Amino acid sequence: MEFSFTGIQSEFRATLRRFLNERGAPAAQAGEREMARRWRAEHWAELAELGALAALLPEDCDGLGGDSVDAIAMLDEIGRAQAGAPLIETAIVAAGLIGRLGSPAQKREFLPAIAAGRLKCAIADGGILAPGASGSSFELRALDNGAYRAQGRQALVTEAPDCDWLLVVCGGSLSALSVFFVKPGQAGARLQPFWTIDDRPAASLSLEAVALEAALRLGGVGEAGAALADVFDCAAVAQCAEAVGLMASLLNQTIAHLKTRTQFSQPLAEFQALQHRLVDMYAAYELSLSLTYKAAILSKQAATDDQRAAVSGAKVQTAEAARLIGHEAIQMHGAMGMSSELPVGRAVKRLKAMEPQYGLPSYHLRRYRALRRSHAV
């Protein structure tokens, strides 16, 4: 049993931390979103140079063959820096699906391009794990000539306006899902762009009889369910790590504020009412970090019931802790916590925006229950 990162992992973390600190994620205040967007675009290539995009890809496709523990080491740093780099969509979900389902030709075409930072993806999953995705779904229609068309809409696809490819998941249930590459500009595909609360570009996507090329299908028709479930779990673990990083950042900001802000002639840190609440925030952070580690360690090997339960547990715990820590961080900063100029509010918004991704906490709670009760009692 061992909970520390290897020397190489720690070194990589330190490099990434240095890079993110030096480049400084810009303050994406209202009106400066475009600046943040340009920053992310400019530094995508540098992230690729650092190996962040190749880290988790298979070695025979220009990747470094990293596992889920490498993933959390990276995403924790992305969270701490509040960088909001959309690594998960491209380097984990898209790359994971291509790796699991793609033909040798597809792997050769897409994976090295992802590793090099030349290709970004957005995931239009039809809201398969999010009942709150208001009427989202993509339907697969077979034509007489054997070709397929996609039909449907999704209310929210993050990173869609900035992606090179959309990965569209068609089908209603996990047992009958298919995945296709669709170009955002393809005939019949319509994007309506907007921003999410965490200042990321997003769009609603509607597909009207969009022609799907067989060469751009990942795996067999209706056969993508198992791969999607596994890859979404990897994404959920990585996202827990980003959330844990954000929580660490919020805790550090809050501690610094309590030590420096003076009221009634003493630092806020002297008030026991605040001290005890800070401790509860900190305990919630440690518990989230612990379950994120556990989920990542178990996810190094092939999926099992224990591993899935650990992923779901991490997602539930992290979502709860994120709310507690986020809301208390704003409260303890007082009115300053409401200002869009402070990073506190941005971290809280990022945490909220992540909450429903890769499975709502309520979905994961029920999945945890089902997995735990399948043998017990």
User: 64 φ, ψ to 5°?
Assistant: -105, 0
The pattern of x and - marking residues 5 through 44 that bind other proteins according to CB under 8 A reads: x---------------------------------------
Q: Which of 177, 278, 348, 354 binds other proteins (CB under 8 A)?
A: 278
Angle between helices 272-298 and 225-260 (to 10 degrees): 150
**273 touches other proteins by CB under 8 A:** no
Q: Which of 276, 335, 374, 375 binds other proteins (CB under 8 A)?
A: 276
Q: Which stretch binds other proteins (CB under 8 A): 166-174, 175-183, 199-207, 314-322?
A: 314-322
Q: Are strands 266-267 and 262-263 parallel, antiparallel or unpaired?
A: antiparallel
Within 224-263, which residues bind other proteins (CB under 8 A)?
248, 251-252, 255, 258-259
- Residue 222 or 343: which CB sits closer to other proteins? 343
Residue 202, helix vs strand vs coil: strand
Within 285-304, which residues bind other proteins (CB under 8 A)?
285-288, 290-291, 293-294, 296-298
Within a 13 Å sphere around the CA of 230, how many CA atoms are in the beta-carbon half? Answer: 18
Length of the chain: 377
Q: Is residue 313 exposed (0-12), middle (13-18) or buried (19+ Cβ within 10 Å)?
A: buried
Q: Which of 16, 54, 57, 69 binds other proteins (CB under 8 A)?
A: 69
Q: Which residues pair with 124 in a beta bridge?
A: 168
What is the token pair recorded at 1? 């049993």
- Residue 178 or 288: which CB sits closer to other proteins? 288
Distance in Å, CB of 66 to other proteins, minimum:
13
**372 touches other proteins by CB under 8 A:** yes
> How far apart are the C-alpha atoms of 112 and 107, rounded to whole Å?
8
> How far apart are the C-alpha atoms of 20 and 39, rounded to whole Å?
11
Distance in Å, CB of 359 to other proteins, minimum:
14
Spatial strand order of the sheet with 178-182 comes to 121-124, 165-170, 178-182, 217-218
**122 touches other proteins by CB under 8 A:** no
Terminal C-alpha separation, the chain: 29
In the complex, the residues that contact other proteins under the rule CB under 8 A are 1-5, 69, 248, 251-252, 255, 258-259, 269, 272, 275-276, 278-280, 282-283, 285-288, 290-291, 293-294, 296-298, 310, 313, 316-317, 320, 365-366, 368-369, 372-373, 376-377
